[in-house]
Amino acid sequence: MTDISPSSSLYFRPTAFVDAPFDLDGKVLRLAGGLLWFSAFDVIVVDGGERGAPRLVTVKALDDFLATLSDEQAAAARVTISRISDVRAPFQLGERILRLDEPRIAGILNITPDSFSDGGRHSDDPQGAADAGFAMSAHGAALIDVGGESTRPGSADVWEGDEIERVVPVIERLAASGVAVSVDTRKAAVMEASLAAGATIVNDVSALRFDDRALEIVAKAGCPVIIMHHAGKAHELHAAPNYRDPLIEVYDWLEARIGELVEGGVARDKIIVDPGIGFGKALQHNLSLINGLSLLHGLGCPIMLGASRKRLIGALSNEAAAEDRLGGSLSLVTLAAAQGVQLIRVHDVPESVQALHVWRGLRDAALVPAH
């Protein structure tokens, strides 16, 4: 029998990835229907808010391990394990299909004067902004994420009318040319106007908590929605960090929020989760989340990572300025791909797409049987 208390909560993080599944039947599982296979779980046991000793359970020994748990724990574990390996269905975005069986790039297009990295570059120039979006799409971005309000620390709120004036002309131009567009906003009125203009995904850093109407709008539209973790209240994106175990706390928060969205009429298979790197998190919290990204597959939703040019890169590279963080950003792109992240939100699209091409080439080579 196991020494795991029946009161403990169990979390399953895929690990021990293998190059290819050949001749490993019963010893490996496929991660979220993608290009990765893994041979073990890092089983995290939490009781009373404290982690127990590390446990590595191989896929081959999984049934034996589950047999040692309480009936309730084993049933919950089987649901989580099924979600980890379930195929993530593609999104139908107007005439475009966004497949989630390999990592994809979402290009950041800020129509703001004050975003931390590229503020002011495209403000008051809808055609120039759209041209930048077209260029990102031509370089391989699967999605263009258009935002009209900065969410950096200390930024001022933008009136919804101004935000609509910023993003809608750009979204209309992109969508009319067949580009898949998401709108990065917290406001229901902006969501409505953007969806009417041709956006097909809502990306809300407040996880539909800032605006009381947001959940209703997304549920009625039936569109995919990206929900991001942040620890503060609905309007507090950068609350002072206070975590005992950031990876587990972010997982639990996202799981609870997914449940609330489903109860509010949003289909679970339309929800994408984002751990919220840099939002109310210190350096060590961000690093813990990035190292543990594969745990989030247990939520059964596609994962988005937005870490491009962020402060953590500067903190690890002699305080490099935002425009000098390309190398660090690319390292996070490939790390995310290696943990099965489906959407990676970036400023530097051509370089990030190239990094994924190399990563994909290595995966393809590994999946060719040796002769």
Residue 193 in any domain: the answer is yes
pLDDT band at 158 (very low <50, low <70, confident <90, very high): confident
Residue 371 in any domain: the answer is no
**Active-site annotation holder among 88, 257, 281, 345:** 345
Residue 296 in any domain: the answer is yes
pLDDT of amino acid 116: 46
Residues 117 and 234 in one domain: yes
pLDDT per residue as tens digits for the range 122-150 = 667 899 999 999 999 999 999 999 999 98
Q: Terminal CA-to-CA distance of the chain, rounded, Å?
A: 44
Q: Which of 35, 50, 85 is the last residue of a domain?
A: 85
Residues 158 and 214 in one domain: yes
pLDDT of amino acid 154: 64
Q: What is the CATH number of the domain that holds 235?
A: 3.20.20.20
Residues 48 and 105 in one domain: no
Tell me the residue range of the domain where 291 lies.
Answer: 91-366
Residue 337 makes CB contacts below 8 A (sequence gap 6+) with 103, 344, 356, 359
Residues 26 and 126 in one domain: no
Residue 342 in any domain: the answer is yes
Residues 292 and 331 in one domain: yes
Residues 81 and 126 in one domain: no
Residue 186 in any domain: the answer is yes
Please name the residue that has the structure tokens 């203009």.
Answer: 197
Residue 1 in any domain: the answer is no
Residue 3 in any domain: the answer is no
Residues 137 and 204 in one domain: yes
Residues 166 and 59 in one domain: no
pLDDT per residue as tens digits for the range 56-72 = 999 999 999 999 999 99
Residues 97 and 48 in one domain: no
**Active-site annotation holder among 104, 173, 187, 310:** 310
Split into its structural domains, the chain has a count of: 2
Name the nearest CA neighbour of 43 among 70, 18, 77, 20: 77
Residues 110 and 131 in one domain: yes
Angle between helices 246-263 and 283-291 (to 10 degrees): 70
Residue 253 makes CB contacts below 8 A (sequence gap 6+) with 229, 231
Rounded-to-integer distance, Cα 223 and Cα 218, Å? 6
Residues 62 and 114 in one domain: no
* Residue 268 DSSP label: G
One DSSP character per residue, 227-258 reads EE--SS-TT-TTPPP--SSHHHHHHHHHHHHH
Q: Confirm whether 310 is a catalytic residue.
A: yes
pLDDT per residue as tens digits for the range 212-235 = 999 999 999 999 999 999 987 666
pLDDT of amino acid 234: 61
pLDDT per residue as tens digits for the range 7-25 = 999 999 999 999 999 999 9
Q: Confirm whether 281 is a catalytic residue.
A: no
Residue 4 in any domain: the answer is no
pTM of the model: 0.94
Q: Which of 24, 55, 85 is the last residue of a domain?
A: 85
Rounded-to-integer distance, Cα 140 and Cα 124, Å? 26
Residues 76 and 148 in one domain: no
Q: Which of 34, 68, 85 is the last residue of a domain?
A: 85
